[in-house]
Amino acid sequence: MSGFTKADVPDQSGKTFVVTGANTGIGLEITSALAARGARVLLACRDEQKAEAAIGRIRRKAPEADLAFLQLDLADLSSVRNAARLAQKEPRIDALINNAGVQGPKRRHTAQGFELTFGVNHLGCFAFTVLLLPKLAETPGSRIVATSSGLHRNAKIEWDDLDAQQRYQWMPRYAASKLANLLFIFELDRRLRAAGLPVTAVACHPGLAGTHLARDSWWGDIAMSLIGLFFNTPAQGAWGALQAATGPVKPGGYYGPTKFSELRGSSGECTPSADARIPELARRLWDLSVRLTGIEADSLSHT
């Protein structure tokens, strides 16, 4: 059986998706594919000008695309709250695709003072998801998708130094945030099932894809361009998210490229690391996330 690609995305007419980081790279490709299949897509991005430029690019190929900008800065929990409030005005939301992510060689912080990589890639994702959960639960069969990475395999969350006061290393911090994405989805899946909510939580990864994620350094951008030539383009890197959001999946599953040690190729079911499947770590991260963000899913808090 061949894997899942953009060609396998079924008709999405009448459905609404929220895609974070939708104006560039993999997020743009996800949005383009969904819009081409008839979906309404909210581009949840920081920069309105860049989002509108992305909307223009998509509409040049699909003039009837139903697209809208949603102001969202995952580095600021007040922005996350406001974006969730605005998104809840939609008649329905069928899937939230948490695609946005950051990394960089310099230690930076969110508006609330969290180390930026952990703050955006996990805490922002956690907060936005929890705030949108009541709306998603109104549509049976809705999905929550979080984008992880193969780098999660050797990652360790530095529980005693989350803000990187003692040490900041670029890639280990990014890898730890991707482990956090998996722990979050697996704990969310457990809680959704226990609560009997009609929402499916799924994780995905893009393999090794040439994107602009490393745009904070000139050499990183060059490296990503070369990766796109030999492994996955952004369009191919989007296949895992597209399967997670629209294709055949198992609740709590993990999807992405399956070839060449899960680095490239069409999407299918993948294998998370042993650490990502430790329930105690997932519960610890959930409780910590609630405490740090001050945001809790009432319907899931006692499961």
pLDDT of residue 218: 42
One-letter-per-residue 3-state SS of the chain: CCCECHHHCCCCCCCEEEEECCCCHHHHHHHHHHHHCCCEEEEEECCHHHHHHHHHHHHHHCCCCEEEEEECCCCCHHHHHHHHHHHCCCCCCCEEEECCCCCCCCCCECCCCCEHHHHHHHHHHHHHHHHHHHHHHCCCCEEEEEECCHHHHHCCCCHHHCCCCCCCCHHHHHHHHHHHHHHHHHHHHHHHHHHCCCEEEEEECCCCECCCCCCCCHHHHHHHHHHHHHCECHHHHCHHHHHHHHCCCCCCCEEEEEECCCCEEEEEECCCCCHHHCHHHHHHHHHHHHHHHCCCCHHHCCC
Q: What confidence category does residue 234 fall into, taking pLDDT thresholds of 50, 70 and 90?
A: confident
pLDDT tens-place string over residues 116-138: 999 999 999 999 999 999 999 99
Catalogue all structural domains in the chain, each as residue range(s) with its CATH number.
Answer: 12-293 (3.40.50.720)
* 174 tagged catalytic: yes
Q: Which of 168, 174, 254, 255 is catalytic?
A: 174
Residue 214 has pLDDT above 50, yes or no: no
Name the band, by pLDDT with cuts 50, 70 and 90, for residue 95. very high
